[in-house]
């Protein structure tokens, strides 16, 4: 079968149309002002937008960039493409092998963390299931990770979810409101601190609500775990949190009004030095 011949005019018109489309697209594409690179020469175009993030020297934006921790596409030049596949919390144990746990960073630490009692809650689960009559003894090999994968539930596990489950490392940070949303998050449960967000200080900023539009500062990563991160979870079970920071509770005097500040000399007290 003989194909119809294409007129040279139509061929030229089609070629011009393609060229015009490419020219218009190029003019509408907003490109970064330069090629952004890390200290090792790796291209990291995320830095064309993320210019104000401040972290510790080991995790600085010029050292690791954004994609080493948050994934995404470091070669993209627009936000939508750059944020494809991004993770908000690199320390989440669901993705940590691709972020904190890559070779050259914290690979060995990730294995230890995932096997720690703070991640598995092995002892809590084994004891709870045993005393609720759902396990023959307290030696069962249970873990939060397996519960997540299997979706298993029971009366004892439901009780665990309601009472204990906010204090394990597999919990997603920010999944709940307020105080409980700050718990969990894998590596960041301990090594993360949130700097104070900037606020509007000039009268016209407050009037025009510009202060509310300011970007939240990037969380800081600390090798030395802040005390407040520990007692976010270790604040029950015989007042472990208060004992750990060196204070203890004393009962109020008889007749003290509920809901009012305790009299001087009562409440939390600092333990004396030996």
Q: Identify the residue with better confidence: 65 or 208.
A: 65
Integer Cα distance of 200 and 203 in angstroms:
8
Q: pTM of the predicted model, to two decimals?
A: 0.73
Q: Are 250 and 267 in contact (CB under 8 A)?
A: yes
Question: pLDDT at position 239, please?
Answer: 52
C-alpha distances out from residue 12 to 4, 6, 24, Å: 17, 10, 18
Domain closes at, from 86, 111, 131: 86
**Two structure tokens written together for 146:** 């397996």
Domain count, the chain: 2
Position 93 in a domain: no
Please report which residue ranges of the chain form alpha helices under DSSP H: 8-28, 67-70, 79-82, 107-114, 117-120, 122-131, 144-150, 155-163, 178-181, 188-191, 203-207, 227-231, 240-244
Comparing CA positions, the residue from 81, 83, 101 lying closest to residue 91 is 101
Question: pLDDT at position 210, please?
Answer: 47
Is it the case that residue 50 has pLDDT exceeding 80? yes
Q: Are 231 and 245 in contact (CB under 8 A)?
A: yes
Q: Looking at residue 94, what DSSP letter applies?
A: T
Percent of the chain surpassing pLDDT 90: 43
pLDDT interval class at 155 (50, 70, 90): very high
Position 64 in a domain: yes
Give the side-chain half-sphere CA count within 13 A for 149.
8
Position 72 in a domain: yes
Question: pLDDT at position 91, please?
Answer: 95
Integer Cα distance of 37 and 67 in angstroms:
12
Position 255 in a domain: yes
Integer Cα distance of 86 and 64 in angstroms:
15
Is it the case that residue 76 has pLDDT exceeding 80? yes
Question: pLDDT at position 95, please?
Answer: 96
> Is the Cα torsion angle 95, 97, 99, 101 positive or negative in sign?
positive
Q: Are 221 and 191 in contact (CB under 8 A)?
A: yes
C-alpha distances out from residue 35 to 27, 32, 48, 243, 271, Å: 18, 7, 8, 53, 57
Position 246 in a domain: yes
Position 16 in a domain: no
Pairing status of strand 220-221 against strand 192-193:
antiparallel
Per-residue pLDDT reduced to its tens digit, 177-221: 888 888 889 999 999 888 765 554 555 455 444 445 567 788 899
Q: Are 73 and 44 in contact (CB under 8 A)?
A: no
Position 183 in a domain: no
pLDDT interval class at 230 (50, 70, 90): confident
Per-residue pLDDT reduced to its tens digit, 84-131: 999 999 999 999 999 999 999 999 999 999 999 999 999 999 999 999
Position 70 in a domain: yes
Residues 46, 57, 93, 164: what is their CA dihedral angle, to the nearest 10 degrees? -130
Question: pLDDT at position 9, please?
Answer: 79
Domain that holds residue 71: 32-86
Integer Cα distance of 263 and 269 in angstroms:
13
Percent of the chain surpassing pLDDT 70: 77
């Amino acid at each position: 079968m003989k194909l119809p011949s294409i007129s040279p005019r139509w061929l030229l018109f089609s070629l011009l149309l393609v060229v015009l489309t490419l020219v218009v697209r190029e003019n509408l594409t907003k490109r970064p002002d330069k090629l952004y690179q890390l200290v090792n020469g790796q291209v990291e175009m995320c830095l064309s937008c993320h210019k104000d993030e401040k972290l510790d020297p080991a995790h600085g934006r010029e050292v690791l960039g954004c994609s080493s921790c948050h994934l995404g596409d470091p070669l993209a030049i627009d936000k939508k493409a750059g944020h494809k596949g991004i993770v908000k919390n690199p320390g989440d144990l669901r993705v940590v092998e691709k972020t904190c746990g890559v070779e050259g960073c914290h690979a060995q630490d990730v294995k230890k963390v995932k096997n720690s009692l703070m991640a598995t809650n092995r002892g809590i689960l084994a004891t709870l299931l045993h005393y609720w009559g759902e396990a023959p003894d307290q030696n069962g090999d249970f873990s939060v990770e397996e519960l997540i994968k299997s979706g298993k539930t029971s009366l004892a596990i439901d009780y665990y979810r309601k009472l204990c489950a906010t204090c394990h490392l597999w919990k997603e940070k920010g999944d709940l409101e307020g105080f409980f949303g700050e718990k969990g998050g894998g590596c960041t449960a301990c090594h993360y601190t949130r700097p104070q967000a900037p606020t509007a200080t000039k009268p016209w900023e407050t009037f025009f609500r510009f202060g509310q539009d300011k970007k939240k500062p990037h969380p800081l990563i600390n090798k030395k775990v802040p005390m407040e991160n520990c007692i976010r979870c270790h604040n029950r079970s015989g007042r472990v949190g208060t004992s750990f920071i060196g204070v203890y509770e004393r009962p109020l005097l008889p007749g003290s009004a509920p809901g009012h500040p305790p009299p001087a000399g009562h409440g939390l007290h600092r333990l004396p030095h030996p």
